[in-house]
């Protein structure tokens, strides 16, 4: 009986084991099928999934982890494998999966709607991909971490978020989410980490967040949140990070912040906060970084800051803080970064600052500080940046600072410093940026100068004297050297020719003598050379004509003599020349930069020219033997007679066949401005093009047709415009001026064809597309070619004393060779005549509310739907909204931002910024390259990043709020020519 019982038990165990084995095998087959289905939906260029096949044990597959007991798949980890494609539903049908990590790939598409039905899932990380669509709804109380940041998810955050009650970490930052932060999120009482930053969220911060007592991190920055900071946040006793930056938060900083005893990082910068810095903030004694910059805070910095013994970073810049810098700051042992610039601080810098600190960066610029630089500012030996410009500081550079070998960036310009530069200071090995201009420094520069890392040196507007040291040449990385407006004398050192990276050399307003050394010809990257207001002698060096990227040359107010080499006029890159007040004689070149040279730039010499623009007298012809004169005159008369005869015959033929035609609209007259088309395009060609099958586009100002001449097949575009009575009186006169514009980067108006009732404009046909149709797909070489092309067009049009009228992506055509052509709108049809287009255009430069036309307020409700500029800003033009050269430079700057960022001006990604221009200004000033550079450029043009950054700098200058601070179009072109100086960027037509 016992034996039978043991046998029964044996068979039962065997049966159970057999069932378990069969079940495991069946489950593994299912998992293999699901994972292979997932693999099939992906592109795997690195072949990381190459061993995902049925011949290999599933637990040995790359990125797969299994339970040690059951061999079920519990984890998939595939971060950063350069995978693309879409995620299939099969991934979320794995019955025992707990962790899925697909972060840092290029996976796209929408997520499966039923993905959260996988109740075994505990951790899901899809950060840094290209997922789109809305975040799927569902319920999974067991999910602990949900990372969806840096994708393209859109829509609202659902109230159903509360159904994920077990969440500890939630990251939805860097997406396209909109709407309010749902109050139901406060039901996630276990949540420790909350990131909703860099979306388009609006409304107030829910005060119910104060109920989430487990929270340690809150990141809500870079949204459009408004209202006050809820005082209830002070109830979060475990909170260590609070980040609410770049929103529209108002009111005062709540005093309850002082209750956050565990707080280490408090970031409230770039909001609209007002009032004093609450004293309670300094009760958060664990603070490591405190950033309240970019607000409207007032009052003084309290001495209670001494309580923050762990503080490493203090940013209070760009506020209205006044009073003295508290001495208590000098007692903070861990303080590394101190930025208090752009406030109303006064008094002296604390004398002990730096002695007990660990300072690496100090920026106190643009205040009202007085006194001297503290002796111990670099006592730690770690100071890297010292920025004190635009104050009223005085005295000499302290000895401790002259021996601060850690320094890399020194900007102390526009103060009252005096004394000489010590030998030690001129030998600092790591300084790459040194600006001490606009002070009262004096004495000579030591011949022992040795700053090998230096890239920018500005000693301008001081009282330096003596010879220029040849040892400047040891700074072989130097790109910008400005020694102007001092008392230097002697020769320009020939060793300056070793500065092979030099882009800008300014030596004006000194007492330099001798020749311009030939050795400077080795500076092949030189763009700007200014040696004006010196005592230089000799001729203009021939080597100047061989400088490949020289853009601006100023030789004025010297004692230079001789003739001006004709080769200088053939330098394609040369934009601006000033030769005034020297001893030059002879003929002024009539090419290149001399074609439209300003009269003042050649005054004070003995030059002649046939160019009326210069105001110079015409050059006298050399004496010629009388026989040659008679023969020449006879030949000229004969040629004129023949030309007149053939011209008469041709004119009669054209009048009969080409220029005139009578139909129901009256007599048609064709006038062509283009000599190439004068014998090929006829009235019949123009009128026959105006058929429905030839329509390119329809607009409210007319219809565009594609045409072709019968004679030689020349293509053109015909634009039919409104009846003559609807045009302004000077329309046709303005059209004639438009027809005289001839530039390779301006769309050519070839002719006009008109009757009593209808007018047709004939433009050249360009085989290409509008820049707006796909600029994001262009590589850097094409983009900079387009940039230079539009800048040339703008410069040319302004030089003709006229305006473009409307600059935008739609007004730029790019042909198959990547060359840009700028389209000018018709006179009277510019954006200024279209109130809706005018106000909705981000290309319109900002100004002040006082000049806004009255009808803005009357129609504000109507405009509100498409308004994209801040209500407090508007066109800087007058009530007639007339366009100026500087407003067109602004529009060009916006165009540059589009080209560099790949974003449209009305792109909602500007977030809290009123538009993309404000966003670009912030991103550039804060060095957030990863934020603003078009990803397409970063991916394939990493070796052009410097050019891209410097081009953005030009865009920032062009879009300055103050019109007087913007460069003129010629200087814009000059700057771009200096930045985009590689062959790939400057290939094509010359600057003019």
Which whole-number Å values give the CA distances from 686 to 483, 704, 707, 713, in the listed order?
A: 61, 12, 7, 13
Q: φ, ψ for residue 303 (rounded to 5)?
A: -65, -15
Least trusted range by pLDDT, from 161-170, 294-303, 593-602, 623-632: 623-632
706 pLDDT above the threshold of 90: no
Confidence category of residue 25, pLDDT binned at 50, 70, 90: low
Q: CA–CA separation, 481 vs 474, rounded Å?
A: 13
Which whole-number Å values give the CA distances from 206 to 156, 160, 986, in the listed order?
A: 15, 16, 54
Higher pLDDT, 857 or 148: 148
Least trusted range by pLDDT, from 111-115, 143-147, 341-345, 691-695: 691-695
On whether the CB atoms of residues 293 and 316 are closer than 8 A, the answer is yes
842 pLDDT above the threshold of 60: no
Give every CB contact of residue 569 below 8 A, 6+ residues apart in sequence.
Answer: 589, 590, 591, 592, 593, 594
For residue 389, give the nearest of 341, 325, 452, 454 by alpha carbon.
341
Structural domains of the chain, with CATH? 18-262 (3.80.10.10), 298-417 (3.80.10.10), 660-765 (3.30.200.20), 773-830+839-981 (1.10.510.10)
* CA 715-718-722 angle, 5° bins: 180
On whether the CB atoms of residues 978 and 503 are closer than 8 A, the answer is yes
Q: CA–CA separation, 593 vs 597, rounded Å?
A: 6
Confidence category of residue 27, pLDDT binned at 50, 70, 90: confident
Q: φ, ψ for residue 309 (rounded to 5)?
A: -70, -20
pLDDT single digits (tens) 274-315: 999 999 999 999 999 999 999 999 999 999 999 999 999 999
Confidence category of residue 672, pLDDT binned at 50, 70, 90: confident
**Count of alpha carbons within 13 angstroms of residue 949, beta-carbon side:** 15
832 pLDDT above the threshold of 50: no
Q: CA–CA separation, 84 vs 90, rounded Å?
A: 17
As a whole-number percent, the residues of the chain with pLDDT over 90 amount to 47
pLDDT single digits (tens) 466-525: 999 888 888 899 989 999 999 999 999 999 999 999 989 999 999 999 999 999 999 998
For residue 728, the model assigns a pLDDT of 55
Least trusted range by pLDDT, from 307-321, 339-353, 870-884: 870-884
Q: CA–CA separation, 371 vs 346, rounded Å?
A: 10
Residue 691's CB is within 10 A of a number of other CB atoms, namely 11
DSSP 3-state assignment of 306? Answer: helix
pLDDT single digits (tens) 911-953: 445 577 877 877 776 555 666 777 777 655 556 777 888 888 8
pLDDT single digits (tens) 262-274: 999 999 999 999 9
For residue 901, the model assigns a pLDDT of 84
| Three-class SS of 762-829 | EEECCCEEEHHHCHHHCCHHHHHHHHHHHHHHHHHHHHCCCCCCCCCHHHEEEECCCCEEECCCCCCC
Least trusted range by pLDDT, from 131-135, 716-720, 985-989: 985-989
Q: CA–CA separation, 492 vs 558, rounded Å?
A: 14
Confidence category of residue 629, pLDDT binned at 50, 70, 90: low
Out of 530-539, 718-727, 762-771, 893-902, the most confident range is 530-539
On whether the CB atoms of residues 431 and 405 are closer than 8 A, the answer is no
Q: CA–CA separation, 135 vs 151, rounded Å?
A: 11
815 pLDDT above the threshold of 50: yes
Q: CA–CA separation, 723 vs 663, rounded Å?
A: 16
For residue 855, the model assigns a pLDDT of 29
Task: Enumerate the β-bridge partners of residue 962.
Answer: none
> If you ran DSSP here, which 8-state letter would residue 963 be given?
G
For residue 570, give the nearest of 599, 601, 594, 538 by alpha carbon.
594
For residue 456, give the nearest of 430, 429, 431, 478 by alpha carbon.
478
How much is the average pLDDT of 603-615? 80
For residue 751, the model assigns a pLDDT of 83
pLDDT single digits (tens) 966-975: 888 888 888 8
Least trusted range by pLDDT, from 341-345, 351-355, 784-788: 784-788
Task: Enumerate the β-bridge partners of residue 193.
Answer: 169, 217
Residue found by looking up tokens 């209500």 in the block = 871
Least trusted range by pLDDT, from 172-186, 362-376, 634-648, 848-862: 848-862
Higher pLDDT, 22 or 494: 494
Mean pLDDT score across all residues of the chain: 82
Q: CA–CA separation, 805 vs 832, rounded Å?
A: 8
For residue 309, give the nearest of 295, 325, 323, 329 by alpha carbon.
329
Q: CA–CA separation, 271 vs 279, rounded Å?
A: 20
Angle between helices 780-799 and 969-979 (to 10 degrees): 150
For residue 695, the model assigns a pLDDT of 84
Q: CA–CA separation, 704 vs 747, rounded Å?
A: 14
- CB-count exposure of residue 317 (10 Å: 0-12, 13-18, 19+): buried
861 pLDDT above the threshold of 50: no
Q: CA–CA separation, 468 vs 457, rounded Å?
A: 14
On whether the CB atoms of residues 823 and 921 are closer than 8 A, the answer is no
For residue 212, the model assigns a pLDDT of 95
- CB-count exposure of residue 704 (10 Å: 0-12, 13-18, 19+): middle
For residue 848, the model assigns a pLDDT of 29
DSSP 3-state assignment of 123? Answer: strand
867 pLDDT above the threshold of 70: no
Least trusted range by pLDDT, from 21-30, 775-784, 884-893: 21-30
Residue 330's CB is within 10 A of a number of other CB atoms, namely 20
On whether the CB atoms of residues 514 and 496 are closer than 8 A, the answer is no
Higher pLDDT, 492 or 762: 492
Q: How many residues are recorded in the chain?
A: 992
208 pLDDT above the threshold of 80: yes
Out of 255-264, 707-716, 860-869, 913-922, the most confident range is 255-264
Q: CA–CA separation, 782 vs 315, rounded Å?
A: 40
Q: CA–CA separation, 807 vs 822, rounded Å?
A: 8
How much is the average pLDDT of 707-730? 70
For residue 846, give the nearest of 913, 924, 790, 796 by alpha carbon.
913
Out of 606-615, 870-879, 903-912, the most confident range is 606-615
Which tokens in the block code for residue 114? 């039923």
b/e map of 23-52 (b: 16 or more CB within 10 Å)? eeeebbeebbebbeebbeebebeeebbeeb
For residue 659, the model assigns a pLDDT of 42
For residue 863, the model assigns a pLDDT of 28
Higher pLDDT, 566 or 296: 296
Confidence category of residue 395, pLDDT binned at 50, 70, 90: very high
Q: What would you report as the CA-atom Rg of the chain, rounded to the nearest whole angstrom?
A: 36
For residue 566, the model assigns a pLDDT of 87
DSSP 3-state assignment of 834? Answer: coil
**Count of alpha carbons within 13 angstroms of residue 555, beta-carbon side:** 23
**Count of alpha carbons within 13 angstroms of residue 611, beta-carbon side:** 18
Which tokens in the block code for residue 832? 């200024």
Residue found by looking up tokens 């001092």 in the block = 486
Which tokens in the block code for residue 558? 């010297």
* CA 519-521-525 angle, 5° bins: 130
pLDDT single digits (tens) 80-104: 999 999 998 889 999 999 999 999 9
Q: CA–CA separation, 400 vs 390, rounded Å?
A: 22
Which whole-number Å values give the CA distances from 21 to 17, 18, 912, in the listed order?
A: 6, 5, 59
For residue 628, the model assigns a pLDDT of 54
Residue found by looking up tokens 């009530």 in the block = 879
Q: CA–CA separation, 177 vs 964, rounded Å?
A: 39
Q: Which helix (H) or strand (E) holds 654?
A: helix 626-657
Q: Is residue 293 left, alpha or beta, with left meaning phi > 0 and alpha meaning psi from -120 to 50? A: beta
For residue 72, give the nearest of 13, 23, 14 by alpha carbon.
23
Cα 696 from chain centroid (whole Å): 33
Query: What is the pTM for the complete model shown?
Result: 0.66
Q: CA–CA separation, 603 vs 205, rounded Å?
A: 66
- CB-count exposure of residue 501 (10 Å: 0-12, 13-18, 19+): middle
Confidence category of residue 355, pLDDT binned at 50, 70, 90: very high
Residues 339, 344, 346, 352, Cα dihedral to 10°: -10
Least trusted range by pLDDT, from 180-189, 210-219, 431-440, 594-603: 594-603
For residue 5, the model assigns a pLDDT of 53
For residue 700, the model assigns a pLDDT of 57
DSSP 3-state assignment of 411? Answer: strand
**Count of alpha carbons within 13 angstroms of residue 349, beta-carbon side:** 27
For residue 864, the model assigns a pLDDT of 30
């Amino acid at each position: 009986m016992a034996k039978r019982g043991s046998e029964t038990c044996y068979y039962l165990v065997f049966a159970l084991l057999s069932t378990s084995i069969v079940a495991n095998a069946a489950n593994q087959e299912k998992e293999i099928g699901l994972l292979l289905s997932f693999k099939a939906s992906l592109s795997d260029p690195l072949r990381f999934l190459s061993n995902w096949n049925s011949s290999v044990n599933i637990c040995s597959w790359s990125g797969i982890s299994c339970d040690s007991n059951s061999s079920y798949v519990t984890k998939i980890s595939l971060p950063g494998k350069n995978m693309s494609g879409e995620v299939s539903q099969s991934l979320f049908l794995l019955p025992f999966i707990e962790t899925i990590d697909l972060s840092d790939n290029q996976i796209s598409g929408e997520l499966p709607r039923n993905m959260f039905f996988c109740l075994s899932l505990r951790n899901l990380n899809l950060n840094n991909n290209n997922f789109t669509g809305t975040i799927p709804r569902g319920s999974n109380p067991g999910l602990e971490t949900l990372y969806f940041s840096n994708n393209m998810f859109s829509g609202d955050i659902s109230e159903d978020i509360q159904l994920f009650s077990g969440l500890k970490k939630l990251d939805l930052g860097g997406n396209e989410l909109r709407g309010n932060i749902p109050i139901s999120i406060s039901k996630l009482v276990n949540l420790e980490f909350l990131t909703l930053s860099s979306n388009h969220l609006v409304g107030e911060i829910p005060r119910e967040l104060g109920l989430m007592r487990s929270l340690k991190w809150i990141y809500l920055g870079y949204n459009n949140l408004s209202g006050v900071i809820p005082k209830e946040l002070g109830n979060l006793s475990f909170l260590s990070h609070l980040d609410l930056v770049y929103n529209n938060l108002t009111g005062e900083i709540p005093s309850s912040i002082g209750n956050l005893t565990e707080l280490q990082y408090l970031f409230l910068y770039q909001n609209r906060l007002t009032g004093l810095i609450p004293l309670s903030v300094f009760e958060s004694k664990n603070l490591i970084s405190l950033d309240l910059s970019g607000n409207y805070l007032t009052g003084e910095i309290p001495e209670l800051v001494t309580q923050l013994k762990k503080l490493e970073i203090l940013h209070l810049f760009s506020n209205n803080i006044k009073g003295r810098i508290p001495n208590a700051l000098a007692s903070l042992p861990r303080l590394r970064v101190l930025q208090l610039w752009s406030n109303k601080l006064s008094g002296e810098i604390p004398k002990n600052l730096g002695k007990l600190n660990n300072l690496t960066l100090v920026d106190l610029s643009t205040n009202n500080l007085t006194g001297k630089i503290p002796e111990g500012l670099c006592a730690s030996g770690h100071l890297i940046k010292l920025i004190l410009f635009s104050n009223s500081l005085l005295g000499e550079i302290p000895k401790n600072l002259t021996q601060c070998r850690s320094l890399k960036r020194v900007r102390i310009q526009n103060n009252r410093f005096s004394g000489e530069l010590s030998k030690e200071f001129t030998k600092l090995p790591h300084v790459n940026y040194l600006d001490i201009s606009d002070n009262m420094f004096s004495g000579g520069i030591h011949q022992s100068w040795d700053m090998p890392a230096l890239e920018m040196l500005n000693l301008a507007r001081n009282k330096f004297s003596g010879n220029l040291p040849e040892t400047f040449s040891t700074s072989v990385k130097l790109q910008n050297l400005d020694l102007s407006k001092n008392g230097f004398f002697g020769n320009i050192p020939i060793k300056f020719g070793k500065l092979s990276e030099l882009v800008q050399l300014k030596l004006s307003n000194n007492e330099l003598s001798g020749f311009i050394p030939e050795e400077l010809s080795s500076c092949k990257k030189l763009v700007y050379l200014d040696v004006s207001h010196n005592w230089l002698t000799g001729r203009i060096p021939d080597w100047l004509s061989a400088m490949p990227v020289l853009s601006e040359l100023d030789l004025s107010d010297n004692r230079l003599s001789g003739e001006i080499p004709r080769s200088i006029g053939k330098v394609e890159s040369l934009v601006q020349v000033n030769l005034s007040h020297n001893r030059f004689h002879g003929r002024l070149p009539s090419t290149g930069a001399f074609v439209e040279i300003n009269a003042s730039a050649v005054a004070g010499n003995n030059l002649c020219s046939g160019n009326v623009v210069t105001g110079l007298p015409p050059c006298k012809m050399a004496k010629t033997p009388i026989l040659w004169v008679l023969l020449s005159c006879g030949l000229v008369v004969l040629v004129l007679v023949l030309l007149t005869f053939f011209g008469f015959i041709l004119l009669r033929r054209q009048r009969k066949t080409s220029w005139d035609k009578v139909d129901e609209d009256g007599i048609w007259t064709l006038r062509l401005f283009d000599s190439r088309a004068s014998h090929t395009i006829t009235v019949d060609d123009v009128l026959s093009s105006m058929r429905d099958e030839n329509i390119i586009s329809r607009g409210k100002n007319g219809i565009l047709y594609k045409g072709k001449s019968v004679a030689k097949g020349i293509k053109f575009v015909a634009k039919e415009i409104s009846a003559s009575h609807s045009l302004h009186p000077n329309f046709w006169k303005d059209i004639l001026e438009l027809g005289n514009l001839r530039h390779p980067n301006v769309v050519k108006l070839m002719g006009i064809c008109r009757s009593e009732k209808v007018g047709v404009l004939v433009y050249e046909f360009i085989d290409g597309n509008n820049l707006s149709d796909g600029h994001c797909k262009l590589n850097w070489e094409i983009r900079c070619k387009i940039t230079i092309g539009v800048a040339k067009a703008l410069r040319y049009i302004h030089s003709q004393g006229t305006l473009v009228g409307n600059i935008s992506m739609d007004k730029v055509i790019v042909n198959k060779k990547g060359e840009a052509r700028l389209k000018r709108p018709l006179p009277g049809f510019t954006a200024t005549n279209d109130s809706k287009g005018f106000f909705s255009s981000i290309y319109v430069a900002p100004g002040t509310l006082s000049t806004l036309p009255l009808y803005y307020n009357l129609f504000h409700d109507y405009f509100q739907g498409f308004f994209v500029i801040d209500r407090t800003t508007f066109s800087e033009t007058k009530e007639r909204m007339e366009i100026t050269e500087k407003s067109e430079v602004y529009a060009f700057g916006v165009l540059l931002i589009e080209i560099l960022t790949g974003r449209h001006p009305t792109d909602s990604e500007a977030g809290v910024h009123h538009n993309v221009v404000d966003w670009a200004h912030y991103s550039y000033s804060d060095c957030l390259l990863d934020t603003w550079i078009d990803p397409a450029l970063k991916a394939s043009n990493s070796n052009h990043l410097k050019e891209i950054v410097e081009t953005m700098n030009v865009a920032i200058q062009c879009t300055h709020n103050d019109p007087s601070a913007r460069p003129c179009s010629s200087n814009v072109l000059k700057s771009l020519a200096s930045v985009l100086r590689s062959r790939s960027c400057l290939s094509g037509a010359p600057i003019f």
